[in-house]
Chain A
């Protein structure tokens, strides 16, 4: 019997797991995919929002601002890339100035620090590529960008190191209330827990419905994006939003922490909770709207496109609370944007509710810091040579485009909750994320996985677990 089971190893679940690991107890995360960060957490804008969007007084606003405030220190404790580059909401029509002012006031009411309106000239100095139509912008210096994978992975790894168990490929099919708590029926047998944290992303309403009659309804809201080559990464230096206009909501243009340029998303409600396909119309919309706030976006440098699903709850509000009719069952539901920003605060809130229920005590052995995967390109020449002398794997480059060495890939595989698939390696060390999109390195990474992961043969290596095998047989096997 676990003290708490967390359903979902996305950012919310992993944050909750890490926060719970500060306390004494048996905690377990159940994840239906083969790795952490496989749903909404992996495909989004990678933005740390300042917090001026959400309605004043909402939980969304509160946790956004709190999450933003936590992010700097957390990125140091857990060693993941986060940059407070600031954000700009661009107003391209004098008649829309009122909306900009509204955002400014809402932001101030939400407690967002240092917000101000910048005028045309200053704006051009800050962002030479801003649209020629731009008349003013709301500047939020606390806005930032983060690597969503590494934020997620870092929190999960740190939770695992502090004793939280992670079970992958484990899908919750049903939950029964029992005398002592809950019995979760999974494809890998039953799991008992005194309390449950529901951090199931686009499935949070389904999981919630297994124990509660309170209505939660989540709609997967698809967002499609273009990712551009690093050669385009300096096109803007802040996250550029456009003010919603009569033409609808614009797309954002932002650098990523790895130096690429990201453009998107669209917003289309769909039914399929796994419907992460891109569409011709969606991508065309991104391309068309890219020029709304930023001029000359070099869309020729697109290296990939992707789609993610936001877990949109009908009320457009975060639900982080114990279900009234299911004591011990704590929801983290409706975690759409700014969910990534808010995730550390969401995890903290969920963990504190659980602590209150179970009267958990602090664990004096909790270690809140984690060292990320060593990035040799940040070392001096001497340090790097010393590293290669000790560990020659760091001298062999596997991914040419991103200059990722074999040493980094081995680290990604062998650390706690290590990578087991091509995508797992890619999210941890970016091998295959560059301009050739894994053309050259995927056979090599497959070989390394087959060599290093116990019990994994080359022909069993997958792209992302389950039925995503890359090799279907050997030559001539059916001749």
Chain B
């Protein structure tokens, strides 16, 4: 039988240490993870090879506050990497209305990910 063992080299993005992690895979199955320093690294590596995700940050327009044309927003949790552009596109026509507070939900369940987009700035 043919072996589908594969090694993937990753740089952990969990924190600025940027640990170099090696993941050994057999098909879609993770066999071994080496090189991480903390458990965040192990979790990251596991996820990165099976279901890579990212927090997405962007801006949306604001009305009602002439001092602040746009406010910054983020996905409240990480979303699948493949959804990043769709998420940003979904924000294109979103306009927040002042007053907005940090943490306010700007867009519910972006792109069906189950994740909300929330404000990271007040206006």
Contact = CB atoms under 8 A, between A and B. Distances in A.
Contacts of A475: 59, 70
A479 B88 CA distance: 8
Sort chain A's interface into a size bin.
Answer: under 10
A475 B70 CA distance: 10
A125 interface: no
A476 B91 CA distance: 9
A476 B95 CA distance: 13
Nearest to B59: A475
Contacts of A479: 85, 88-89, 92
Contacts of B85: 479
Interface of B: 59, 70, 85, 88-89, 91-92
A479 B91 CA distance: 10
Contacts of A476: 88-89, 91-92
A476 to B, nearest CB: 4
Interface in A425-479: 475-476, 479
Given A475-B70, A476-B92, A479-B85, 7 more contacts: A475-B59, A476-B88, A476-B89, A476-B91, A479-B88, A479-B89, A479-B92
Nearest to B94: A476
10 contacts: A475-B59, A475-B70, A476-B88, A476-B89, A476-B91, A476-B92, A479-B85, A479-B88, A479-B89, A479-B92
A17 to B, nearest CB: 41
Q: 4 closest pairs, A vs B, by CB? A: A476-B92, A479-B89, A479-B92, A475-B59
A475 B91 CA distance: 11
A475 B59 CA distance: 8
B75 to A, nearest CB: 16
Contacts of B91: 476
A479 B93 CA distance: 11
Contacts of B88: 476, 479
Nearest to A458: B69
Nearest to A477: B92
Contacts of B70: 475
Of B70, B89, B92, the most chain A CB neighbours within 10 A belong to: B92
Contacts of B89: 476, 479
A350 to B, nearest CB: 50
A458 to B, nearest CB: 9
Nearest to B92: A476
B87 to A, nearest CB: 11
